[in-house]
Chains A and B, each alone.
Chain A
């Protein structure tokens, strides 16, 4: 079964082709954020301009023609409305034009599922960390199969915190990796550490670090300490979830999973409790179309798809709202 997947929830317009769980291509174009952050209308405009070319390129790289395709998946949410709409419309045109099935999917679930499958885990505790999301999840079968949210951020996602702080101290984008580079060799400064059971909060940490930056504390020490504190909070909450559910598997997914530092810390958590640790290459942690195609194919194999006229977007689509294949 050859399935096309379209991702456009934020600054990436990505298209991937999957055949029986095998990724044949994973192409993308990224809207340049510059120093301003993302302007939704401009990002959407960028996606509109690039959509036809990226779709064609993904099919060409995968060496598939229009007749080979069985279905098309797209990100229903969560994400930025105008950006999501471009992916939705692209998928609808492909489905209509080729007369193939269409499958709306949840962006986060796709990040998780491709990591889980590629690392050969069955039912792991998942730390899903990106710009807008920071959640700890585990698949549960009742009432319907879904990723149950065991814990999550009370306010902003860890990625957004790192990005906002990096902009504040005028680091270059991509901010996550800029913070990681700036942090090298830093000394530890006390910053607010907020964990409540399996939930956590990042705004206090962001505010305090910003204050200290204005007071003249070094960027290096602040970046170092912010990363140490934020990732330690995530590790503590994840560790608690691991013990509470008596799980023997752990994995990390989402944009912030690109951080080597975070992965190394999670390896320690897994090691301490004898759990298997899974992660995927960064092409799947960054936003991409292949993960969308991957989950859409899983759905199609279970006979699940939507009618074109029922397809929509949902900016605040929560991870636990998607029924899993």
Chain B
């Protein structure tokens, strides 16, 4: 199998499933972790990722479809496009992104690593990828952290467009945005916009 991309969390290989091009995300063992902790992290994250991806899809969020799941691996549909991190940013993208995160949060899924490195752009189509740190939770704080990660990764104007669209989709957006302001005041979390 050819390596497609490598993250800290997992390696992604190009493969095919029933003749269709696909990706397989494999959580490989980390030499620095004790075996028991290592296997626990890898298998529980694989399970959670599959569960949250499936749930996001049902909520109408554009994500890669799951083709098969193993103990430490997930076979995924290969979506076209380019990472938002490596693309020019347009307000329209942020409006769509705000809507998508709003839908996810309405369904109580948090992404956990919600940055431009985990958004795929294909023309005007936006998809969320890498649910490696996603969780099912009602926690207002966790939802606020999704906003925070995006806020400190992008231009403030673009973030404003994102937040506006998020607020019109997400049912308890007011409470979540209020919590975000609180979280930022804690000092540890300063906005660390990449410059």
Contacts and interface: CB of A to CB of B under 8 A. Distances in A.
Contact of B192 (A149, A155, A188): A149
A32 interface: no
B34 A153 contact: no
B18 interface: no
A197 B32 contact: no
Interface stretch (A39-47, A160-168, A212-220, A239-247): A239-247
A52 interface: no
A193 B8 contact: no
Interface string A205-244: 0000000000000000000000011011001100110111
B1 interface: no
Nearest to A269: B32
B7 A229 contact: no
Contacts of B2: none
B32 A154 contact: no
B16 to A, nearest CB: 26
Nearest to B142: A196
B119 to A, nearest CB: 14
A272 B37 contact: no
Contacts of A318: 190
A243 B8 contact: yes
Given A140-B195, A197-B112, A228-B33, A190 B40 contact: yes
Interface size class of B (residues with CB under 8 A): 20 to 34
A91 B190 CA distance: 31
A211 to B, nearest CB: 19
A268 interface: yes
Interface string B24-46: 00000011111011001100000
A140 B194 CA distance: 9
Most chain A beta carbons < 10 A, residue from B8, B188, B194, B195? B8
B11 to A, nearest CB: 11
A232 B32 contact: yes
Contacts of B187: 316
B112 A153 contact: no
Contacts of A195: 133
Nearest to A193: B41
A188 B112 contact: no
Interface residues of A, number: 36
B96 interface: no
Main secondary structure on B side of the interface with A:
loop
Contact of B189 (A148, A154, A188): A154
A188 B195 contact: no
A152 interface: yes
B95 to A, nearest CB: 24
A320 interface: yes
Nearest to B190: A318
A269 B8 CA distance: 10
B113 A196 contact: yes
Contacts of A153: 188
A34 interface: no
Given A140-B195, A188-B34, A155 B188 contact: yes
A248 to B, nearest CB: 14
A193 to B, nearest CB: 7
A152 B148 CA distance: 14
A240 B9 contact: yes
Nearest to A151: B192
Interface in B94-132: 112-113, 115, 117
A143 interface: yes
A265 interface: yes
A142 interface: yes
B56 interface: no
Contact of A268 (B31, B41, B149): B31
B188 A143 contact: no
B195 A143 contact: yes
A232 B37 contact: yes
A265 B32 contact: yes
23 contacts: A148-B194, A188-B34, A188-B37, A197-B112, A197-B115, A197-B149, A228-B37, A232-B33, A235-B32, A235-B33, A236-B30, A239-B8, A240-B7, A240-B8, A242-B8, A243-B7, A243-B8, A265-B32, A266-B32, A269-B32, A272-B31, A316-B187, A320-B192
Given A235-B33, A236-B30, A240-B8, 6 more contacts: A154-B189, A197-B112, A229-B37, A232-B32, A272-B30, A318-B190
Interface of A: 140, 142-143, 148-150, 152-155, 188, 190, 193, 195-197, 228-229, 231-232, 235-236, 239-240, 242-244, 265-266, 268-269, 271-272, 316, 318, 320
